[in-house]
Structure 1
Amino acid sequence: MTDRKKPLYRSVNTRTHGVRHGAGGEYRWSRRREDRVHDGAMRGGQRHGLDYTPLFRFLLSRVGEDWDTVFAEAAARLDRHEPVFWMVARSEAEEKPFVRIGESSYYSGLFVDEDNRLRLVDPDLRVEHMEPGCACCTHTFNGIPFTRKYSPPAD
């Protein structure tokens, strides 16, 4: 019996009716324009059908721990390293109190401090501070639904 841990991502249904995956079709309408220089034609790099929520929860549960150890475990359980850096800032300029993943999911921004420890960019940020951008979606912060209700901007 092996001690193989579960991957930090999961497959999502991509064949269900109505599932949309970002850009699609725009190129076919503009490919014959003479002023277009193949800027993004044939986007073969897009990956659909993977949910990295387990990775985000893993990273949040490891705040305060040694970054090299955390990253080594995460990297061993991922298909690629890029999603780690959706939450973890690579430089001080990239640090944000929260990051938006998808349409309405927000997570705490992370960084690696001078002692090589994983830290929260804003440790005081709570779900109570977050305000939804629309009334139609269920917005979450670190997996918890927002407690504040949507209030439209005053005209």
Structure 2
Amino acid sequence: MRTILLIVLWLAILLVDGLVMPALFHIRESFLVFVFLCALVVVYGEQSWLIWRGLLLAVATELFLGLSIGTVVIGFLAAAWTRHALTRFINLKPLLEEASWLSPLHCAVGLGLLAMCVIAAAGAQAIFYAANPLPILFQFAISPAFIFQAVTAIAVCLFILTRFKPTMHDW
């Protein structure tokens, strides 16, 4: 049942990201999918089943939204690797597991992973497709609306994912 809720949440994010965001804010890039994938990494950690399911969701997102192949996947892998490095060298694992759903640590780690995810996706665009992502990255970095949207989206995703946290055998 929880897996179905997780897939329904992902489909709702795809719908909002593919239809609502471009129509309202003229943002073609899949920002909410990055938020969702980063929230998955924050909540579940670096478990092997999460990496495989996250890769499947990232590839499906690229295919459904018509994004450049590799941008969401590389962003997700960068977020997962960053989380692994954080828990390996700083040992945030006990703090993240015992904290509440909207602790400052959860939000800070989520925003850091989101930043790594967006930077890695922009780097993939620049390397693989000869695109210039710097104006978009600069616009995102200084925009208060973008920062508010990122904090709100991370908080909502963390709240939902911690309330309906499936275990490995639920997949």
Q: Classify the TM-score, shorter chain.
A: 0.3 to 0.5
Q: TM-score, normalised by structure 1?
A: 0.36
Higher strand share: 1
Q: TM-score, normalised by structure 2?
A: 0.34
Higher helix share: 2
Higher relative contact order (CA 8 A, sep 6+): 2
